[in-house]
Amino acid sequence: MHTVVVGTSGVTASDVLAVARGGARVELSEGAVAALAAAREIVDALAAKPEPVYGVSTGFGALATRHISQELRAQLQRNIVRSHAAGLGPRVEREVVRALMFLRLKTVCSGHTGVRPEVAQTMADVLNAGITPVVHEFGSLGCSGDLAPLSHCALTLMGEGEVEGPDGVVRGAGELLAEAGIEPVELREKEGLALLNGTDGMLGMLVMALADLDMLYKSADVTAALSLEALLGTDKVLAPELHAIRPHPGQGASAANMLAVLKGSELTGHHQDDAPRVQDAYSVRCAPQVAGAGRDTIAHARVVAERELASAVDNPVVLPDGRVESNGNFHGAPVAYVLDFLAIAVADLASIAERRTDRLLDKNRSHGLPPFLADDAGVDSGLMIAQYTQAALVSEMKRLAVPASADSIPSSAMQEDHVSMGWSAARKLRTAVDNLSRVVAVELYAATRAIQLREGLTPAPASQAVIDAVRAAGVQGPGPDRFLAPDLAAADAFVRGGNVVAAVETVTGPLR
């Protein structure tokens, strides 16, 4: 099994994906263990002093003015975890919780949190045992960290709360820890706070969304090319010299992908023969501009994610010179903004894809295709309601594109009077990404059927490779009406599995 070693300098996106989705094992580097021990010595020295130090010998948030005596500090750490594990709503997905835990461990191992090495090792042991804390949908405002989600994870380290075992069954944490041979931890000064105070949930969801969108944007380039081909559109608008004079990198990459898919097609450029058109519709002609803008947004979001993956997010932090200083690095604004940016881009990509699908189904705009791509229009309804489903998905995505980060509800007796709502931005982006796959799947379904209805004209080799692959996957082609939902679900699974891109790349080589 693949092993990810966590050091003091952060982790990579591929590390997060390996642990969250691939079940990779986690180990602490010797440097991380040494840094943990060194930072702990500083915390212990400060804890022994009579002067109060925030996070070490005081309360938290609006209660930070109270000096906590030594005999109450272990209880304080237990209490902050128990009281903050206050989430409600549906359970969060296993991969999100694993990413959350792993990224918190990343910050702990930086040597800036003051957590003991044995606590960090327990975090790794829980991950390696396949034990996943039950974390709920609601409870994070994206400021002072993803508090409730991280608290539910910290509760597991104490042997409390509910967890999901490797078999998917939810049981008590203490019971599963015992079966795995993991001793619950007794938290000491600062450790409870250090386990809760980070942007790890929203960051984990950002990293996974970026991975999914990399594949989905390539898939959308392919389905846009298939729709252009089915509509007998012109590929001249994809010429590199046209995109070079407006040099947005994403636009150029998207146009290059579409051009590669269409190479060798007999369908493109025939539109002047029987239905004169000066230009194709915007949804066809401007596909690279819209998808390209989204790609550039993804590139910016990836830069933010990489910076956050290299960060140590905690408050207070332990500095190498022995100071323990309060800060505002836990604020989720940098991550929240790009999560919202991505939701906007994803909604717009889905919107333009839906417009192409609608054009394929409209006999007045499809340039010779049968109404709704039906076998016997009137007797058959064809893909009429498939487009309704796609439209419903797009409408939902437009609502999800409303920024969460523009909102803020003060909390903690006005101490935390401006919050990022980054967790909420991440949760709605996950839904939007899921819906994008479905929208692309409907366009794929319509475009492949439309191409096959263009009798006498041979599609591009790359297009044919997609058609062959999707039919082999059980997605049926043209014909009389049938129960459509299973076909659409199979098309969605085909897209979600990266098979659109894989099929094309057997002909074109790697897409950009």
Q: Annotated active-site positions, please?
A: 54
Could you give phi then psi for residue 324, rounded to 5 degrees? -120, 110
Residue 26 three-state SS:
strand
Q: How many residues make up the chain in this entry? A: 512
Helices then strands, counting H and E runs in the chain, come out as 20, 9
Separation between Cα atoms, residue 106 and residue 309, nearest integer Å: 8
d(CA 512, CA 506): 14
- Beta strands 25-28; 136-138: pairing state: unpaired
With contact defined as beta carbons under 8 Å apart, do 298 and 342 qualify? yes
In a 13 Å sphere around the CA of 331, the CA atoms on its Cβ side amount to 14
Q: What is the 3-state secondary structure (H, E, C) of 313-374?
A: CCCCEECCCCCEECCCCCCCHHHHHHHHHHHHHHHHHHHHHHHHHHHHHCCCCCCCCCHHHC
Residue 365's identity, in one-letter code, is R
Name the residue among 47, 44, 79 with its Cα closest to residue 63. Answer: 79
CB atoms inside a 10 Å sphere around CB 226: 32
Alpha carbon distance 400, 479 (integer Å): 36
CA–CA gap between residue 61 and residue 129 (Å, rounded): 34
**Which helix H or strand E contains 398, and what residues bound it?**
helix 384-400
Q: Which two tokens stand for residue 384?
A: 């009429």
Q: Estimate the crossing angle of helix 147-157 against helix 117-128, to 10 degrees.
A: 90
